[in-house]
Every structure is written in structure tokens, then in C-alpha cells.
Amino acid sequence: MPREMLLDIRNLHVSFTGYRGHSRVLNGVNLTVGRGEKVGLVGETGCGKSLTVRAVLGLLQPPRARIRGEIWFAGRNLLALPPGELQQIRGREIAMIFQDPMAALNPVFTVGDQLLDIIARRPGGRPSERAAWARAVDILKEVALPDPERIMRAYPVQLSGGMRQRVLIAMALVNEPALVIADEPGTALDVTIQEQILQVMRALVDAKRTSVLLITHNLGVVRQTTDRVYVMYAGSIAETAPTADLFSAPQHPYTQGLLASVPKLTGEGVPRGIDGMIPDYLNPPPGCRFAPRCQFAQPRCQQPPPWVRVGAEHDVACVLYDDGSRPSAERAAPSPIPLPTGEGTDEASGLPSNTAPAVTRP
């Protein structure tokens, strides 16, 4: 049965005009999140993940930022909405969890003031003061904060980083939004706290069937948390697949390189980076933007890559697949990289240590 779409980003282009010229960053992004679906968005730094989110939230200001395309959310094109309506959706139906909790909280108001203010904007009308307070205390309990009454009266500066991030999750989820966008949640925190935070978030979104768009550099977190993944390279989507398929049979040369560059704490295997750098958006390569770094590049890559279906919900933007062939046993050839074989999870990557990505030669 086809999944009901909640967010549907179609052919999104974003460019900026600055004194050095015109930089074309997002180059036709297509991305969907279904109702109740948890979707990951990965890709190296500067590829346009946060920019995509800012476009969804209406945070890009023309005329400096030029935006083209469509962003459908629950049946409305956000790019065509009047600002007032967009603001309503942003507060109530789409919630955002940012990386740095201190920057996202207002230091001069107590946690309670900030939480009650959000609850007052709840769809369906303002609850009584007493009901709002009870709701706030409940959500703080749900994010496993001890002594919620005390936290309600505390200022952000009086809380630890982990507590602040939990408060932020509470604020994002208190009005039960349909979609939560989390951009690198908890990466400002140490890894054990980050894991606890993600557990709290996972439990809450599962209980409420909230849709999630999760941006992170941690592929282990993506693997544990999401149903489907998008891999972004230099402003467009290179590949998307159900999470398990993406990790077991990555098809785009960039995805293969990305997965192969995850280091193992055990020191087993040889993490391979991808030579070269993300292109300059002022003067990006024509056609496939990955071509200059791709070992399989060919003259056809000067043209925009085709979007090819290679499996169930598995699509790849690469000429290597445009002959209609499916990924096969020959394609998923044994990796030339010695792969670790031990059991358990690699602590650095969060990936099971015996399931390093198979590097295939398309």
C-alpha cells in the first residue's frame, strides 16, 4: 500500500547572490517523509542538509536567497503560503530540534515560561493555567528529567547540557507535531549523553507515531533510528533506500565511499575516505557534481544524472544504472577492502562491527 505523504520536497533549488557571484547550492532536491516514517538525511559537511531544512521552515530570505521548487506539507505547498500561515504550521505541526540547546533556549526565561508559552499555542485552543502546567510537567517526565517541578522553575543556564537537550525535545514534542526535524541533535554533547537523548526521542516519536527527519553525521544512529535514508551530495540527492538496503547494498559511488570511510575503533579494516572536496557552489561541475571525484566517471556524467529505480524504494542518481539493470550478485562484488569480522557494535561508528558496508563496483 502506498504510504501517505506528509512532507514532499520537489525539485528544490536554492541559490544565493553574494559579492563573489551566484552560488547554486541546492540543485533539485527531491525528498519525502511519510506519515509515521523516520527518515535520515546524511552527507558530508556543506552538502546542503541544513539548508534544505531552513527552506522547509521558511527561514530563507529572498532576495538574497532564491528558491525554486515545491515543498508540500500535509497537502499545502509551503513555498506558496502567506507568512502568517507558515508560522502557524511551523510552531504547531512541524517542530525542530537543533544541535545546540543553549542557542535554541532563551536564557532570560525559565524552562517553565518557555514550555507554557508553547503549550498556549497548542492547536485547539489555550488550556487553563493548571492544565498547561500539568502538561508541561508530564512532558518533562516523558523525557526522563528528574524533579520536573524544579526544572520548570529553573533557567537554562542552571541545567546541564544533557538536561537542556531533553528540555528541547520536550518543547518540540509537547504539542504533538506531525513532523519533527532534528538537525544533529545532541552532537554538542558527549556520546553517552547523546545516546540517552536519542533513546528518549526514539521512544517518544514511536509512541506518538510522529514523523521524523533526522540529520546526522553518525551513520550508526541513522541505522538504529530510521526506516529510510537519503544520501545528499553537493546539493542534490545521490541515493535513497530503506535503511537496511542502503547499508547492505549501497549503489551510488558516493554512498559507497561514504560508508567505507567510517573508521572502526577496533582498528580493523582500512577506512577509505573519498579523495577531493565538495565543489565550489559558485562554479559547480556540469551534470553530476560528484563526477570529478568519482572513479567511475565517464563522458556521460557531464549531463545531469538519471534517477534510476534499482530496487523497492531504492533509487540512485547515476548513469551507471541507467541501462535498466538491477543490482545483482555480480554488482555487489566482494569488497576489495578487508572487512572486520568481529561481533558487536563498533563504538565509534555505532555500526555493527561485522557489517561494514559492502563496497561494490558498479
Ligand X SMILES: Nc1ncnc2c1ncn2[C@@H]1O[C@H](COP(=O)(O)OP(=O)(O)OP(=O)(O)O)[C@@H](O)[C@H]1O
Residues of the shown chain interacting with ligand X in the complex, contacts defined by CB under 6 A:
16, 23, 25, 43, 45-51, 281
Rounded to whole angstroms, how far apart are CA atoms 118 and 173?
A: 10
| Residue 49 beta carbon to Mg ion: minimum distance, rounded to whole angstroms | 5
Q: Which residue is nearest to Mg ion (CB)?
A: 50
For residue 214, the cross-strand partners are: 40, 182
Q: What is the distance of C-alpha 288 from the center of its chain?
A: 22
Joined grid coordinates for residue 334 = 566482494
- Residue closer to Mg ion by CB (options 25, 316) is 25
| Residue 183 beta carbon to ligand X: minimum distance, rounded to whole angstroms | 7
Positive or negative CA dihedral for 257, 259, 265, 269?
A: negative
Positive or negative CA dihedral for 99, 104, 110, 113?
A: negative
Residue whose entry in the numeric block shows the C-alpha cell 547494498: 249
- Residue closer to ligand X by CB (options 150, 217) is 217
Which partner from the list ligand X, Mg ion, none does 164 bind, CB cut-off 5 to 8 Å by kind?
A: none
- Contacts with Mg ion by CB under 5 A lie at 50
Which partner from the list Mg ion, ligand X, none does 320 bind, CB cut-off 5 to 8 Å by kind?
A: none
| Residue 184 beta carbon to ligand X: minimum distance, rounded to whole angstroms | 7
- Residue closer to ligand X by CB (options 292, 311) is 292
Which partner from the list Mg ion, ligand X, none does 16 bind, CB cut-off 5 to 8 Å by kind?
A: ligand X
| Residue 215 beta carbon to Mg ion: minimum distance, rounded to whole angstroms | 7
Nearest alpha-carbon partner for 231 in 258, 266, 249: 258
Nearest alpha-carbon partner for 252 in 236, 270, 264, 263: 236
C-alpha angle 55/86/104, rounded to 5°? Answer: 65
Joined grid coordinates for residue 224 = 538504529
Which partner from the list Mg ion, ligand X, none does 48 bind, CB cut-off 5 to 8 Å by kind?
A: ligand X
Strands 65-73 and 5-18: antiparallel
Which partner from the list Mg ion, ligand X, none does 25 bind, CB cut-off 5 to 8 Å by kind?
A: ligand X
| Residue 303 beta carbon to ligand X: minimum distance, rounded to whole angstroms | 24
Judge contact between 254 and 290, C-beta under 8 A.
Answer: yes
| Residue 218 beta carbon to ligand X: minimum distance, rounded to whole angstroms | 11
Cα–Cα separations (whole angstroms), residue 236 to 239, 328, 330, 336 = 9, 26, 28, 28
Which partner from the list Mg ion, ligand X, none does 321 bind, CB cut-off 5 to 8 Å by kind?
A: none
- Residue closer to ligand X by CB (options 163, 215) is 215
- Residue closer to ligand X by CB (options 235, 350) is 235
Q: b/e string for 219-257 if b means 16 or more Cβ within 10 A?
A: bbbbbbbbbbbbbbbbbbbbbbbbbebbbebbbbbbbbb
- Residue closer to ligand X by CB (options 47, 219) is 47
- Residue closer to ligand X by CB (options 41, 152) is 41
Which partner from the list ligand X, Mg ion, none does 354 bind, CB cut-off 5 to 8 Å by kind?
A: none
For residue 317, the cross-strand partners are: 307
Judge contact between 179 and 210, C-beta under 8 A.
Answer: yes
C-alpha angle 230/231/233, rounded to 5°? Answer: 140
- Residue closer to ligand X by CB (options 230, 281) is 281
| Residue 283 beta carbon to Mg ion: minimum distance, rounded to whole angstroms | 22
| Residue 171 beta carbon to Mg ion: minimum distance, rounded to whole angstroms | 20
